[in-house]
Structure 1
Amino acid sequence: MLVHPWDAARDDSEWREWLAAHDFGQLAVNGLPGEPPYVQPLHFAYDAGRGEVLGHLARPNPLWPALEADPDVLLSVVDDYVYVPGPWQAAPDAPPEHGVPTSFYAAVQLRCTARLVDDPDEKADLLNRQLGHFQPQGGSARAAAGEAPYGRLLSGIRGLRLEVTGVRAKFKYAGKRQGEVQDRIAAGLAGRGAPRDTAARDHLLRRRST
């Protein structure tokens, strides 16, 4: 992912706060020799304090041999994306039809070293930590090896603990455009009101003020 200086996260807190509100992404795993990469949609829980990502997948998932051969993976999370029409981006002294259309988006890529979890007690602990993230209000039984209701299901999954070794973050929201153009884009997003337009406009205005 190309990250221009004007699109880069201002500091670690910017991407961490954004990621805290996002817990679904694409896990990219290097393929076995002669095979393309695996890309696995994944609900995950990011533990900023421990610098790790928690997840689990079904035991029959075909990516396990590739993960065992190469634990170096990438978790990609993208959201708040919108299409920006060319006229919105036109320079102040140029005709509207000369504007170049583009995409706005926020993206965080976590490079990680994967560790597979097969011990039943450790899997139960991993699942309970995920439940604590996704259901902080409770409402579900805790997982425990050998105990109902989830104990007998533990053998059907493998856990994933991903140690974060690197981060690339990008917030592509007209960072290099003149203020007049940014104002026009913000007005266009407010007027269009399509899905994610409000979030994109908020990013544009927030980053303009920092």
Structure 2
Amino acid sequence: MYTPKHFKVSDFEEIREFVQQNSFGTLVTTKKGKPIATHLPLQLIKDGEEFFITGHMAYGNPQWRTFEACEDVLVMFQGPHAYISSSWYEQENVPTWNYQAVHIYGTAQLLTEDELKQDLTSLMEKHEGHRENPVLWDTLSSSLLEKELKGIVGFKIPVREVQAAYKMSQNRNETDYHTIIDRLQQEKDPNSKQLADVMRIKSTDSL
């Protein structure tokens, strides 16, 4: 991923938090030179001193059969993004697009059944734990779980390389930066409003 110095993010803890908050990612592999992609709920977990991307896909999805032949797989995560009009700048310039994106590379491995159960338990706790009547691993019948497990394949990807770019008008002056936040907040697109919130938080953090 192209990451100009203004927009490059190197703080792994910041990247880790971003992935946790934007964990519906895209897994990319290749088959005979042709890219294949699947959109999946994923987790970034720590096991000992290593970090892993974990997830699962349908057994009928042929992508998992490409893991063995792929030396590298790519996992992409994206945050809010929005069009930035150059009419919001003090001086003449061209429009652009702001975004947050993280790319993670590694070699995919299949999970054992026990590892898959553990990963599914963690995934359900993350997304169900705060609900009034949470659907957790231990609340589901063993017959249903056994049936569903036969239909999925779990995988893990040791994190070998991370690329992160947050293009959020860091190269603009302070006046332009705050004008962009205000104008994004006025847009009807929910992504624009979310991006404005992120930019406002980043601005506060830098003070």
Q: Normalising to structure 2: TM-score of the pair?
A: 0.85
CA distance, structure 1, for counterparts of residue 11 and residue 116 of structure 2: 34
Are the equivalent residues in 2 in contact too, given 1:53–1:164 (CA < 8 A)? yes
Shift of 1:193: 4.6
Shift of 1:71: 4.5
2:12 pairs with 1:12: yes
Q: Normalising to structure 1: TM-score of the pair?
A: 0.84
Q: What CA deviation, in whole Å up to 9, does each residue of 1:145-170 have, x standing for no partner? A: x9422113322211111111111111
CA distance, structure 2, for counterparts of residue 190 and residue 205 of structure 1: 10
Matched residue type, 2:114: D
Equivalent residue for 1:181, pick from 165, 173, 176: 176
2:189 counterpart SS class: coil
2:46 pairs with 1:32: no
Identical counterparts, % of pairs = 24
Shift of 1:207: 3.2
2:67 counterpart SS class: helix
Which consecutive residues of structure 1, in runs of 5 or more, have no partner in the other structure?
none
Equivalent residue for 2:162, pick from 167, 174, 177: 167
2:8 pairs with 1:2: no
Rg larger in 1 or in 2?
Answer: 1
Shift of 1:81: 0.5
Question: How large is the Cα RMSD of the aligned pairs?
Answer: 2.4
CA distance, structure 1, for counterparts of residue 13 and residue 116 of structure 2: 30
2:185 counterpart SS class: helix
Q: Aligned residues, how many?
A: 200
Matches within 5 A, 1:1-210: 1-9=1-9, 11-29=11-29, 31-33=30-32, 35-48=33-46, 50-88=50-88, 90=89, 92=90, 94=91, 98-117=92-111, 119-137=112-130, 138-142=134-138, 147-209=142-204, 210=206
Are the equivalent residues in 2 in contact too, given 1:53–1:163 (CA < 8 A)? yes
CA distance, structure 1, for counterparts of residue 119 and residue 155 of structure 2: 8
The verdict on how the C-alpha distance between 1:82 and 1:62 changes in structure 2, with shifts beyond 3 A counting, is same
Moved over 4 A (4+): none
CA distance, structure 2, for counterparts of residue 126 and residue 57 of structure 1: 13
